[in-house]
Amino acid sequence: MKKPIVAVVGRPNVGKSTFFNKVTGKKISIVKDKPGVTRDRIYCDAEWCGKAFTLIDTGGIELKSQDEMWKHIKKQAEIAIETSDVILFMCDGKGGLTASDVEVASMLRRSKKPIVLAVNKLDNYDQSALFEYYELGLGTPVGISCEQGKGLGDLLDEVCSNFDSVEAEEEDDTVKIAIVGKPNAGKSSLANKLLGFDRTIVSSVAGTTRDAIDTPFTYNGQKFTLIDTAGIRKKKSVYDDVEYYSVVRAFGAIRRADVCLVVIDSVEGLTEQDVKILGYVHEQGKPSVVIMNKWDLVGKDTFTIEKFRKKLDDDLAFMDYYKSIFISAKTGQRTEKILSVALESLQNARQRISTGTLNDLIGDAVRTTDPPTKNGKRLKIYYTVQDGIEPPTFIMFVNNQELMHFSYKRFIENTLRNAFDFSGTPIKLFIREKSEEE
């Protein structure tokens, strides 16, 4: 069954992100004594006393603000409320009940969903501070201190009591896709196009998305989770700790993804930073697709696409297996191909080759191209096995590792790629030494 969804909402700076991180056990949401840090919805699975659920952290709600960013944040919180099963409304017990709390509570009551009221920052655990919160008409408030971990168990008991005997969701075949790239390359616009609605805040201001945001969806019967991330700047361009942690989480999204979409601004062209991001994806062994976005804005002639592909081939020689698509997230040009190409890359990364087939292939390659020699000794390849997938990983047993020249290793890798479709995914080949007797 579907896991219950719990939306954590409230005014800015009441401790929602601290609670989110405490409950999930992961530093996913930014914790900063500064309003407006969490802008989009952040999803993460959690569990309490055997009950599994999905927690959503939202930006602080400022109902009366006319600032465009606060309006965007409010919209994201409203979507979280709409998609949730239970609402956890958090207030600041240190500052006391405010008019804004009353307004937010009124908005939440209109949702007709179960609401649990939490009063945070009761570091001395003074329960008398809770009395005024009965005025909100949301039932008995639960006093907590997220910083000190006080009262969290009671609060989670209250939250879980609203679940209708929901069973933990079984592991499924959901494919996690991370959208990564430099700031303002069009990542959020692409995410919204793939999802079909405004899932994340889209702005022409670079750096609008600060969090790695997970959104589950289904396409052609396949379950996906799309991870939209903050733009990855050069280190010297990261000015504050909030942006630093955004970049850290973007790299974390790459590590937990099954496949990565690396978005590049075609107008600007492939840059050194783009190559570094692709290099990190390659080092992590992730299948990927290079998305050349804003293709509608590029001036074109007969040879334009060939010039772009030549540039990609030259700069991405270290990952000559790459797949690329030239798209426009704004107009939707060729975006319908992205998920199928991403799945192809993932399927190639999950290939398994039988040991017999593998050794027949390597044996034929060795017969056509002699192994290297050194000081009168010749490299002998005894056999090769596949050790894993994602990425496809092979171990080759030889008589002497030092005799394996990098060029011959490259020859073996190319032999594997020519025989099997490993496009879109790196492969790893490890050399192990064994005596002839072994």
In whole angstroms, what is the distance from residue 61 CA to residue 149 CA? 24
Structural domains present in the chain: 5-160 (3.40.50.300), 175-349 (3.40.50.300), 355-433 (3.30.300.20)
Asked if residue 426 lies in contact with residue 405, where contact means CB atoms within 8 angstroms, the answer is: no
pLDDT of residue 242: 45
Residues of the chain with pLDDT under 70: 1-2, 26-41, 63-70, 72-73, 76, 125, 165-172, 197-212, 233-249, 435-438
pLDDT of residue 198: 54
pLDDT of residue 59: 74
Q: Are strands 213-219 and 142-143 parallel, antiparallel or unpaired?
A: unpaired
* Residue 90, CA distances (Å) to 10, 76, 199, 357, 411 in order: 5, 17, 23, 60, 60
Average model confidence (pLDDT) for the chain? 83
* Close Cβ partners of 64 (under 8 Å, ≥ 6 residues apart): 100, 103
Q: What is the CA radius of gyration of the chain?
A: 26
Alpha-carbon dihedral 233, 235, 238, 244, rounded to 10 degrees? 90
In whole angstroms, what is the distance from residue 396 CA to residue 403 CA? 13
pLDDT of residue 206: 47
Single out the residue of 259, 261, 250 nearest to residue 293, CA to CA.
261
DSSP code at position 257: -
Single out the residue of 285, 268, 266, 281 nearest to residue 229, CA to CA.
281
pLDDT of residue 30: 42
In whole angstroms, what is the distance from residue 288 CA to residue 22 CA? 32
Which tens digit of pLDDT belongs to each residue from 70-91? 576 677 677 778 778 899 999 9
Q: How many CA atoms lie within 13 A of 312 on its CB side?
A: 23
DSSP code at position 200: S
347: three-class secondary structure by DSSP = helix
SS3 content of the chain, % helix, strand, coil (to 5): 35, 25, 40
Q: Are strands 51-57 and 115-120 parallel, antiparallel or unpaired?
A: unpaired
In whole angstroms, what is the distance from residue 293 CA to residue 270 CA? 11
Task: Please work out, in degrees rounded to the nearest 5, the angle formed at the alpha carbon of residue 235 by the alpha carbons of 231 and 238.
Answer: 65
Q: Is the pTM of this model over 0.85?
A: no
pLDDT of residue 36: 42
pLDDT of residue 419: 96
Handedness of CA 20, 26, 32, 37 (dihedral sign): negative
